[in-house]
Amino acid sequence: MTIRLSAVGYLNARPLVYGLERSPRFAVRFDVPSRCADLLHLNSVDVGLIPSIEYCRGDTEYAIVPGMAIGSRGPVASVALFTRRNPQDVRSVAMDTSSRTSVALIEILMRLLYKVRPQAVDLPPDLDVMLDRADAALLIGDPALFLPDGASGARKIDIGDVWTKWTGLPFVYAFWAGRPNVLTPPEVDCLARARDEGLGHLEDIAAAESASADRQAVILQYLRDNVRYGLGADERAGLELFYRYAVEVGAIGRAASLRFF
Pair (89, 61) in one structural domain: no
* pLDDT-derived band at 169, boundaries 50, 70, 90: very high
Both 177 and 58 in one domain: the answer is yes
**Could you give the C-alpha distances from 254 to 78, 104, 177, 245, 251, in angstroms and in order?**
27, 14, 18, 10, 9
- 24 and 85 assigned to the same domain: no
Residue 29, pLDDT above cutoff 90? yes
Same domain, 119 and 155: yes
Q: Do 53 and 92 fall within a single domain?
A: no
Render pLDDT for 119-146 as a digit per residue (tens, 0 to 9). 999 999 999 999 999 999 999 999 999 9
- Tell me if 178 is assigned to some domain: yes
The total number of structural domains in the chain stands at 2
pLDDT for 228 beyond 90: yes
Residues 128 and 58 in one domain: no
Same domain? 158 vs 195: no
pTM attached to this predicted model = 0.95
Residue 26 lies in a domain: yes
pLDDT tens-place string over residues 179-221: 999 999 999 999 999 999 999 999 999 999 999 999 999 999 9
Q: What is the pLDDT of residues 47-83, one digit of tens each?
A: 999 999 999 997 889 999 999 999 999 999 999 999 9
Whether residues 124 and 142 share a domain: the answer is yes
Burial class (CB in 10 A: 0-12, 13-18, 19+), 243: buried
**Could you tell me if residue 238 is inside a domain?**
no
Domain boundary residue, one of 167, 196, 224: 167
Domain boundary among 117, 151, 167: 167
Q: Are residues 17 and 131 in the same domain?
A: no
Q: Which residues of 40-54 are buried (b: 16+ CB within 10 A; e: fewer)?
A: bbeeebbbbbbbbbb
Residue 149: inside a domain, yes or no? yes
Is the domain of 66 the same as that of 179? yes
- Note whether residue 214 is domain-resident: no
- If asked whether residues 55 and 95 sit together in one domain, one would say no
Domain holding 196, by residue range, is 3-71+172-208
CATH of the domain at 181: 3.40.190.10
Q: Has residue 117 been placed in a domain? A: yes
- Among the three residues 114, 141, 167, which one is the final residue of a domain in this structure? 167
Considering the domain architecture, whether residues 180 and 116 belong to the same structural domain is answered as no
pLDDT at position 13 is: 97
